[in-house]
A and B are shown apart, each in its own frame.
Chain A
Amino acid sequence: MSTMVKVRRRIPPYLFVGAAAVYLAIFTATPLLRGVWLSFTDTKLLNPDGGTFVGADNYRNLLTEDRFLSSVVTTLLYTTLTVVGALVLGTAAAFAINERFRGRAVARAVLTMPWAAPSIAVVLVYTWIFNVEDGVANRSLAALGIGQQGWLLDPDRGLLAVTLVSVWKVFPFIMLVVLAALQSVPSELRESGRIDGAARLTIVREIVLPHIAPTLRVAALLMTIWSIRRFEIIFLLTGGGPVDSTNTLVINVYREAFQNSELGRAAAIGMLGLCLSLVVTVVYFVVDGRSARKEAS
C-alpha cells in the first residue's frame, strides 16, 4: 500500500472526530470554561462582562452558608429517592408488560404517557391533585379517614410530593430501557433454567437480572445525573419551598442567577453541582469496571 493511500485512510477518522471535537469545544467546553471563570468573579447578570476577579470568595461564602449546604443535602435526598423510586417502579412495570396478556399494547402506551407528557402540563395537573381543600389526593385520604395533608405546603411533605411527581414522570424511561433489555435475554437461557427446575424467582435473580444489570447501571447513572439537574418540576410545583425543603442546587442556581442577578455566585453553585455529577459518574465507571473484570474472570 502506498504511503499516499495510507495517509488518505488515516484522515477520515480524524475528520469525523474533529467535527465532534469542534462542536463540543464550541457548545460545551467554551461555556464550561466561561462558567469556571465566572465562578471566580462577582459578575452580575445585567452586566455579564463587567465582573471583577474575587478569587475563591464565592466558593468560600457558599460552603459556609447553611442554606447552601442544606440544598446539597436536599439534592442528594431528592436524587436518591427519585432514582430508587424510578428504578423500582420502572423495572417492575417492564417485567409486567414483558408478559403476554390481553391489552398489553394499550398498557404499554398508557404507561409510557407520563414520559411523553410535557412537564408543565404534569405540574399543573399535580398542583390540583395536591390542592389542600379540593385536591384528589386529600379527598382520597379523607375517604380513608386520614386528615388533610399540605402536600406542597408542609415542609415535611414538600420533598415527598415533588419526588412522587418526578418518579411518576420519569419511570417510563426506565421501563422502556429495561423492557428492551428484557427482550434481549435469550429465551434458551430461561428455557434451560426452567428445564433444570429453577423457580420463576430464581430464573429472574440468576439469569434475567445479571443479563439486564449493565442496562440498569447505565439507566441509573443517567437518571442520577438528570435528577441532580432537574429543574422544571420542582420549580413549578414549589419554587424551592416550602421553607426551602425542595431547594435543590439547580433551584439555587436559578435563584442566584435570574432572581438575584448574582451570576458569579450562580456559576460557583453550578460548578459544585457539576462536581457532584462527576463524582457519580466516576463511581459508576469504577463499579462498571469492577463488574466487567468480575465477569471476565
Chain B
Amino acid sequence: MVRPKRFLALTASVAALALIAACGGDDPSEDGKTAADGGTLEITHWDLLSPSYGAQMWELFKGYEKNNGAASLTKQEITRQDYETTIKSQIAAGGGPDVLAIPDTFLPELAEAGALESLDGVFPADMKPPLNATNEGGKWRGTQMAITAQIAPYAFMWNKDILERAGVQPPTTPQELVNAAKTIKERTGITGFAVRHRIAEENPWWIDFYNWPRGFGGGWSDGTKLTIDRPENIAAVKAYKEIFDSGSFPVGDDASTFRTKFKQGQLAMLIDSTGVPTAVISEKVPSTSILSSKLPFPTQNTSHVGIYFGINKNAKNKELAKDFLRWLVAQEQQQEMSEVLGNASTVAVDTTVPQEYLERNPWVAAFRENASHSKGAVIEGFEEKTPRIRHIVLTWIEKVLLQDLPPEEALAKAAQEAAAVAR
C-alpha cells in the first residue's frame, strides 16, 4: 500500500520533472540525452571547404561551444560534387553527420525516406526576429524538416571594365546578350558570356539551367503534370543554343574554369548565384568592377540554390543538434551568417546590409532584389522523381547544343521520356 504522503511527493516530483522537461526545449531525446549533456556534434556543409568563406563559416558555428560548454563541434568535409552520394551512403549505413546542409533538390528524398528528424516545435513561435518565409521550403508534407541555411538567387553579372572597353551596354534581352557577347569577343578578344553546359556537372547544371525556363516565364511542371515542352521552355532553349553557338561562349569549360576566367578578367559576363561574386573578386577584378542585374530575359524570375540545415535521424544526440539550430537562427548568428555569405543571400531570418557595404559591393543589390522572384529547381509535384527527370531533360538539351536537334523536338522527346518515369 502506498502512503498518501509518499504518493503526493512522487506525483509532485514527476510533475516537476515533466514541467522542467517541457520548458526550455531541453527535452530528453529517445536515448535520454539532453542538450545540457553535451557531447560531440558533427556538422557538414560543402561550403566549409569554400576558399573564400569556409573558415569564417566554421568559426561562426564554433561559437556555439561558448554557448554550451558541454558541446564540442567537429566538421566533416565533403566536396559539393560528392555531397549527396556521400551523405546517402552514410545515412543508409546508419551513420552520417548530426547536422547537415541539405540542397533543396535533395531534401524531398531525405525527408521521404525518413532520414531527417522533425523540427516541428523546435523553434519558438514567438521568436524575434521570426523565421522568414524561405523556411517554408524546408517543409515536407506539412512538417518542418529543415530550416534555411541560405537561399542564393541568381543574377546576371558582368565586368564593367570589359564592357566599357568593348563599348557595350549591359544587355537586357536574350538578343542583346548574344550581340554583346559577340561584340566583346570581336573588340577585346575576351570571351563574352558563360554558364554551365556539361552533363559532368549534372546537378548544378540543372539548377543553373532552370534560370532559362524561369526567365522566359516557363517551368518544368504546373504542380500536377509535367510541362517540359511548353512554348516558353522551347523559347528558352532556343536562346540558350544561340548564345552557346555565338563563338563567344567558352564551350567545354566547367564552372570552376569559367569562374577563374572571370576572376582573371578573361570573361565578361555570366549568370551565377550569390556565392560566386565573393569568390571571383581579385586584384584584376575588384568588387567595384562587378555589376549585376536581373537576368536578360523576358521576366524577372530566376532559379535559386536553396540550402537548408536539417538533423540526421541517426544523430547521436538530437536534442543537442536542435539546440545548436536554435542558437544558429538567433539574430546575431544569422546576421553574421549573412555577412559570411557576402550579404547577397537570404538566411533563416531577415537581416540587414549596411549601406556602406552595398556601396563597396555594387553587385549585391540585384541579387537581393532577385530573391523574391527566385525558385528552386526541384520539380513541383515530382520532387522524388526530379533526379531521373533531370537526367532525361539535360541529355536532350545536350543534343540541342551538340547535335543541333531542334529544341521543339528535343523537349517533346524529353517530355515523353519523363512522363514514362513520372508514372
Q: Count of chain B residues with Cβ under 8 Å from any Cβ of A?
A: 32
**B387-A131 in contact (CB<8A):** no
**B252-A152 in contact (CB<8A):** yes
Measured between alpha carbons, how far is A150 from B257 in the docked complex, in Å? 16
Which chain B residues numbered 90 to 114 have a C-beta less than 8 Å away from chain A? 91-92, 109-110, 113-114
**B387-A46 in contact (CB<8A):** no
Measured between alpha carbons, how far is A237 from B254 in the docked complex, in Å? 11
Measured between alpha carbons, how far is A48 from B251 in the docked complex, in Å? 40
Residues of A within 8 A of B387 (CB): 259-261
Chain A residue at smallest Cβ distance from B205: A239
> Which listed residue (B85, B200, B254, B399) contacts A243, Cβ 8 A?
B399
**Is B402 on the interface with A (CB-CB < 8 A)?**
yes
**A258-B198 in contact (CB<8A):** no
Measured between alpha carbons, how far is A48 from B114 in the docked complex, in Å? 12
Measured between alpha carbons, how far is A109 from B34 in the docked complex, in Å? 60
**Is A35 on the interface with B (CB-CB < 8 A)?**
no
Residues of A within 8 A of B402 (CB): 150, 153-155, 242-243
Chain B residue at smallest Cβ distance from A151: B252
> Which listed residue (B114, B391, B399) contacts A259, Cβ 8 A?
B391
**B91-A239 in contact (CB<8A):** no
**A258-B200 in contact (CB<8A):** no
**A133-B92 in contact (CB<8A):** no
Name the distance in Å between B404's Cβ and chain A's nearest Cβ: 11
Measured between alpha carbons, how far is A44 from B403 in the docked complex, in Å? 35
Interface string of A239-250 (1 = CB under 8 A from B): 111111000000
Name the distance in Å between B186's Cβ and chain A's nearest Cβ: 16
Which chain A residues numbered 181 to 238 have a C-beta less than 8 Å away from chain B? 236-238
**B200-A239 in contact (CB<8A):** yes
**Is B383 on the interface with A (CB-CB < 8 A)?**
no
Residues of A within 8 A of B199 (CB): 238-242
Residues of B within 8 A of A133 (CB): 191, 250-253
**Is B201 on the interface with A (CB-CB < 8 A)?**
yes
Number of A-B residue pairs, CB cutoff 8 Å, is: 86
Name the distance in Å between B361's Cβ and chain A's nearest Cβ: 30
Name the distance in Å between B81's Cβ and chain A's nearest Cβ: 9
Residues of B within 8 A of A44 (CB): 113
**Is A255 on the interface with B (CB-CB < 8 A)?**
yes
**Is B88 on the interface with A (CB-CB < 8 A)?**
yes
> Which listed residue (A47, A130, A243) contacts B252, Cβ 8 A?
A130
Known interface pairs A258-B88, A259-B84; A243-B257 also in contact (CB < 8 Å):
no
**Is B395 on the interface with A (CB-CB < 8 A)?**
yes
**Is B11 on the interface with A (CB-CB < 8 A)?**
no
Name the distance in Å between B416's Cβ and chain A's nearest Cβ: 12
Known interface pairs A46-B92, A47-B113, A241-B200; A153-B252 also in contact (CB < 8 Å):
yes
Residues of B within 8 A of A132 (CB): 250-253
Which chain B residues numbered 11 to 66 have a C-beta less than 8 Å away from chain A? none
**B110-A259 in contact (CB<8A):** no
Measured between alpha carbons, how far is A48 from B115 in the docked complex, in Å? 12
Measured between alpha carbons, how far is A255 from B85 in the docked complex, in Å? 10
Name the distance in Å between A8's Cβ and chain B's nearest Cβ: 44
Measured between alpha carbons, how far is A132 from B202 in the docked complex, in Å? 19
> Which listed residue (B85, B115, B251) contacts A258, Cβ 8 A?
B85
> Which listed residue (A46, A150, A152) contacts B88, Cβ 8 A?
A46
Residues of A within 8 A of B372 (CB): none
Interface string of B391-423 (1 = CB under 8 A from A): 100010011001100000000000000000000
Chain B residue at smallest Cβ distance from A128: B257
> Chain B interface secondary structure, helix, strand, loop or mixed?
helix
Chain B residue at smallest Cβ distance from A66: B417
Name the distance in Å between B7's Cβ and chain A's nearest Cβ: 46
Q: Count of chain A residues with Cβ under 8 Å from any Cβ of B?
A: 30
Known interface pairs A46-B113, A133-B252, A153-B198; A260-B257 also in contact (CB < 8 Å):
no
**Is A97 on the interface with B (CB-CB < 8 A)?**
no
Residues of A within 8 A of B253 (CB): 131-133
Chain B residue at smallest Cβ distance from A255: B391
**Is A62 on the interface with B (CB-CB < 8 A)?**
no
Measured between alpha carbons, how far is A236 from B113 in the docked complex, in Å? 29
Residues of B within 8 A of A127 (CB): 254
Chain B residue at smallest Cβ distance from A239: B200
Interface string of B233-270 (1 = CB under 8 A from A): 00000000000000000111110010000000000000
**A45-B88 in contact (CB<8A):** yes
**A238-B85 in contact (CB<8A):** no
Name the distance in Å between A149's Cβ and chain B's nearest Cβ: 10
**Is B188 on the interface with A (CB-CB < 8 A)?**
no
Interface string of B167-204 (1 = CB under 8 A from A): 00000000000000000000000010000001111110
Known interface pairs A239-B199, A258-B85; A46-B251 also in contact (CB < 8 Å):
no
Chain B residue at smallest Cβ distance from A157: B402
Residues of B within 8 A of A131 (CB): 252-253, 257
Measured between alpha carbons, how far is A67 from B388 in the docked complex, in Å? 13
Measured between alpha carbons, how far is A48 from B93 in the docked complex, in Å? 8
**Is B76 on the interface with A (CB-CB < 8 A)?**
no
**Is B89 on the interface with A (CB-CB < 8 A)?**
yes
Which chain B residues numbered 324 to 381 have a C-beta less than 8 Å away from chain A? none
Chain B residue at smallest Cβ distance from A49: B92
Residues of B within 8 A of A153 (CB): 198, 251-252, 402
**A237-B200 in contact (CB<8A):** yes
> Which listed residue (A237, A243, A255) contacts B398, Cβ 8 A?
A243
Chain A residue at smallest Cβ distance from B114: A47
**B85-A259 in contact (CB<8A):** yes
**A238-B200 in contact (CB<8A):** yes
A and B contact pairs by CB, cutoff 8 A, 24 listed: A45-B88, A45-B89, A46-B92, A46-B109, A47-B114, A48-B92, A131-B253, A132-B250, A133-B250, A152-B198, A153-B251, A154-B402, A238-B200, A239-B198, A241-B198, A241-B199, A242-B398, A242-B402, A243-B399, A258-B84, A258-B85, A259-B202, A259-B387, A260-B387
Given contacts A47-B92, A133-B251, A152-B200, 12 further A-B contacts (CB under 8 A): A45-B88, A46-B109, A47-B114, A48-B92, A131-B257, A132-B251, A133-B252, A155-B403, A239-B202, A241-B200, A260-B387, A260-B391
Task: In the A-B complex, list the 5 residue pairs whose CB atoms are closest, starting with the nearest.
Answer: A241-B199, A239-B200, A46-B113, A132-B252, A258-B85
